[in-house]
Amino acid sequence: MQDPYLNTLCFSATGTTLRCVETVADAIGLSVGRTLNLADRTRPESITCNDNDVVLVGAPVYGGRIPPVFAGKLKKLQGNGARTIAMVVYGNRDYDDALLELTDILRENGFLVVAAGAFIAQHSIFPKAGMARPDRKDLDKLIEFGRLCRGAIARTDIPDLLIKGHRPYKKYGGVPLHPLGNQDRCKRCGICSDLCPVNAIDKETPCATNAGSCISCGRCIVSCPFGARQYRGLKYKLIDKIFTAVFAKRKEPEFFA
Ligand SMILES: Cc1cc2nc3c(=O)[nH]c(=O)nc-3n(C[C@H](O)[C@H](O)[C@H](O)COP(=O)(O)O)c2cc1C
């Protein structure tokens, strides 16, 4: 029988979740079919899989949960028995209930979760936490996880995975910090506005941010070619200092398979 294709799906605003997903996908070794980053607003709203499909789903952790915008999109997918790997990527604080939430949503939508894992990357709001991760050691762990997934996909007896986390899930109310543009650096190119996953930057006023819709994902910061968008202000500096000190101890990846 021919090997199935591997489809990958993630929400990656600043690229680390995507990088982790791609590393695991490479290590699984199947031919990759579709690769979707649902942080792109143009991506399809509904995807239907079948039991010949293998799907790898990656989410960043936001406030110990998966980003609500991604959760909403995942609930529109239909798994129809597709064998699925769930992974979350977090910024060295904790992943709390995010992997459990991701696994629950996938199972409720007909995906057969065969393996799950939590990995660490540089924090996209406080980058001194998990700085420069995933590093070589993380990449080795991602490869090890990918090889383990290859075995898990082929199994006929799928074990009931016990994923770390609690129900009801931790409450998440968003982050009260939002990146802003710098008038001197901004060239009004519109890239940040086009790439914002939630349309929180108006092309006419690109240095402002709609705090009501901004999810603080940092995509505008990493996508600006002129370094014009940043977190600024005393409140940010203070929280950054405390956060970096409190979450300095290195966390390590965890697998559930
Ligand atoms: C709004 C927001 C909330 C976050 N909450 C957490 C958290 O609860 N725990 C944690 O360790 N990291 C947290 N992070 C860090 C991200 O999980 C981490 O940087 C992840 O690698 C970002 O993925 P991306 O590069 O694909 O966007 C948060 C980041 C953002 C933007």
CA of 64 to the centre of ligand 1 (A): 9
Give CA–CA dist 207/136, Å, rounded.
Answer: 36
> Is residue 2 predicted with pLDDT exceeding 90?
no
* Helix, strand or coil, per DSSP, at residue 124: coil
CB of 193 closer than 6 A to ligand 1?
Answer: no
CB of 218 closer than 6 A to ligand 1?
Answer: yes
CB of 133 closer than 6 A to ligand 1?
Answer: no
CB of 11 closer than 6 A to ligand 1?
Answer: no
What whole-number percentage of the chain has pLDDT above 90?
89
Distances (CA, A) of 94 to 21, 25, 30, 133, 203: 19, 24, 31, 15, 35
DSSP character string of 80-119: TT-EEEEEEEE-SS--TTHHHHHHHHHHHTT-EEEEEEEE
Predicted confidence (pLDDT) per residue in 20-64, tens digit: 999 999 999 999 988 899 999 876 767 889 889 999 999 999 999
User: Rounded mean pLDDT of 142-159?
Assistant: 93
Predicted confidence (pLDDT) per residue in 71-97, tens digit: 999 999 999 999 999 999 999 999 999
| Average pLDDT of the residues of the chain | 96
Of all protein residues, the one whose alpha carbon is nearest to atom 7 of ligand 1 is: 63
Per-residue pLDDT, 236: 97
> Is residue 1 predicted with pLDDT exceeding 70?
no
> Is residue 161 predicted with pLDDT exceeding 80?
yes
Predicted confidence (pLDDT) per residue in 99-147, tens digit: 999 999 999 999 999 999 999 999 999 999 999 999 999 999 999 999 9
Per-residue pLDDT, 248: 97
Q: Which parts of 29-79 fold into alpha helices (H)?
A: 68-74
H/E run at residue 234: helix 234-246
Mutate to test the pocket of ligand 1, among 37, 90, 240 (most ligand atoms within 8 A of CB): 90
CA of 176 to the centre of ligand 1 (A): 14
Per-residue pLDDT, 224: 98
pTM above 0.75, yes or no: yes
Which amino acid is it at 136?
R
> Is residue 211 predicted with pLDDT exceeding 80?
yes
Per-residue pLDDT, 3: 80
Q: How confident is the model at residue 160 (pLDDT cuts 50, 70, 90)?
A: confident
Q: Smallest Cα–Cα separation from 74: which of 35, 22, 109?
A: 109
- The CATH number of 180-230 is 3.30.70.20
CB of 94 closer than 6 A to ligand 1?
Answer: yes
Q: Where do we find the tokens 């591997």?
A: 6
Per-residue pLDDT, 41: 87
- The answer to whether 97 and 165 are in contact (CB under 8 A) is yes
Q: Is CATH 2.30.40.10 correct for 6-168+250-256?
A: no
Q: How confident is the model at residue 158 (pLDDT cuts 50, 70, 90)?
A: confident
- The answer to whether 78 and 109 are in contact (CB under 8 A) is yes
Q: How confident is the model at residue 4 (pLDDT cuts 50, 70, 90)?
A: confident
Give CA–CA dist 210/199, Å, rounded.
Answer: 9
H/E run at residue 254: strand 254-256
CA of 124 to the centre of ligand 1 (A): 6
Per-residue pLDDT, 47: 85
CB of 140 closer than 6 A to ligand 1?
Answer: no
CB of 69 closer than 6 A to ligand 1?
Answer: no
**Domain ranges, ordered by start, for the chain:** 6-168+250-256, 180-230
CB of 103 closer than 6 A to ligand 1?
Answer: no
121 CA closest ligand 1 atom index:
21
CB of 23 closer than 6 A to ligand 1?
Answer: no
